[in-house]
Amino acid sequence: MIRLIRTSIMLLAFSSLCSAEMTKITDDDLAGVIGQGVYLSGEISINENGGPLANSFFGACTDANKECGARLSFQTQQGGGWFVLGNIKGTIAFEGLTLQVRNISSGFGGDGALFNKDVMEIGLPESLRMNDFQFTLATSSNARPGDAGFQQVDLLTVEMDGEVTLDGNLLIFPTP
């Protein structure tokens, strides 16, 4: 259960955009949305053609013996091993990611009137497509693959490709 939630939270963190096929609630409930922010569309691609490193571990994507994705690792104990988010690569294309500062003073089942403040609203994209997006969760003994005695224990690898159904807004605001 813990892993389920952790996985879903992490997937949420990495996947972003999809076209929603369902109708959502009308604009009436999104009261207070008057403002001219920006509408963003485009793509984010990570290590589509590999990365700049070339050594015993990292290499070209065409080389089956080498890893070509990006790698993030962190160490939680002094002298300890490393948590790894590795072999991150792929493309996420999206349309309709919106950004604006929004004043909320109504809606939200009554919360809006009590809140009555500005928030940064990030509108999730209208359509989000993953293109061979993948990453691996692992733990390793050293930070740099290629170091002597390097060992890595892969936990799992996630691969995503295709249109993601995503809808809604992320509201970010300071909490006093």
Residue ranges in 73-132 that form contacts with another protein under rule CB under 8 A = 73-83, 91, 93, 95-96, 98-101, 103-104, 108-112, 114-115, 117-120, 123-124, 126-127, 129, 131
- How many residues bind another protein, per CB under 8 A? 124
CA 35 to chain centre: 27
Residue 110 CA to residue 113 CA, distance in Å, equals 6
Q: Which of 10, 14, 38, 62 binds another protein (CB under 8 A)?
A: 38
DSSP state of 56: S
Q: How far is the CB of 63 from another protein (least distance, A)?
A: 13
Q: How far is the CB of 32 from another protein (least distance, A)?
A: 12
Coil, helix or strand at residue 40: strand
Q: How far is the CB of 130 from another protein (least distance, A)?
A: 8
Give me the 39-58 binding string for another protein, x by CB under 8 A, dash otherwise: xxxxxxxxxxxxxxx-x--x
Coil, helix or strand at residue 7: helix
Residue 160 CA to residue 173 CA, distance in Å, equals 30
Q: Does 156 bind another protein (CB under 8 A)?
A: yes
Do 105 and 116 meet the contact criterion of CB atoms below 8 Å apart?
A: yes
**Tokens linked to 2:** 């813990």
Q: Does 64 bind another protein (CB under 8 A)?
A: no
